[in-house]
């Protein structure tokens, strides 16, 4: 099915463990993004990528690592999970960065709980 898919949908992990959230899009969009959504903070940008092998930090990047070896995949890794990283994580993609096209398209999200 075409679109943007995230996996897993739900994840429980322990403090200190490494965990990777996956994001895959089928449109060959150049730009991909990771956001987290928390009550009281709304949606905040973690990392974004303009193309394969080009990534940049967002507003709340500490404790996260990304890679983009292929255009269609943009995994997000929590190197050593902390309870403050309990959140809902959304991946998004966009054809254009500076407007035009269809804007942003979001995945269904991954609900991560760190215990």
Partner 1 sequence: KQEVTQIPAALSVPEGENLVLNCSFTDSAIYNLQWFRQDPGKGLTSLLLIQSSQREQTSGRLNASLDKSSGRSTLYIAASQPGDSATYLCAVRNQAGNMLTFGGGTRLMVKP
Q: Which residues bind partner 1 (CB under 8 A)?
A: 33, 42-43, 45, 48, 58-59, 90, 92, 97-100, 102-109, 111
What 3 state SS string does the chain have?
CCCEEEECCEEEECCCCCEEEEEEECCCCCEEEEEEEECCCEEEEEEEEEECCEEEECCCCCCEEECCCCCCECCEEECCCCHHHCEEEEEEEECCCCCCCCCCEECCCEEEEEC
Q: How far is the CB of 62 from partner 1 (least distance, A)?
A: 17
Q: Which is nearer to partner 1, 53 or 59 (CB)?
A: 59
Q: Which is nearer to partner 1, 80 or 113 (CB)?
A: 113
Q: Which is nearer to partner 1, 99 or 115 (CB)?
A: 99
Q: How far is the CB of 58 from partner 1 (least distance, A)?
A: 7
Cis peptide bond upstream of 8, omega within 30: yes
Q: How far is the CB of 45 from partner 1 (least distance, A)?
A: 5
Q: How far is the CB of 4 from partner 1 (least distance, A)?
A: 9
Q: Which is nearer to partner 1, 26 or 82 (CB)?
A: 26
């Amino acid at each position: 099915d075409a679109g943007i898919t995230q996996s897993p949908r739900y994840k429980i992990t322990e403090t200190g463990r490494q965990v990777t959230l996956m994001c895959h899009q089928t449109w060959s969009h150049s730009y991909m993004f990771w956001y987290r959504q928390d009550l009281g903070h709304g949606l905040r940008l973690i990392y974004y990528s303009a193309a394969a092998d080009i990534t940049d930090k967002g507003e709340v990047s500490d404790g996260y690592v990304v890679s983009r070896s292929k255009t269609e995949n943009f995994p997000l890794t929590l190197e050593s999970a902390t309870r403050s990283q309990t959140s809902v994580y959304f991946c998004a993609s966009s054809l254009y960065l500076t407007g035009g096209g269809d804007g942003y398209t979001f995945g269904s999200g991954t609900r991560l709980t760190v215990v």
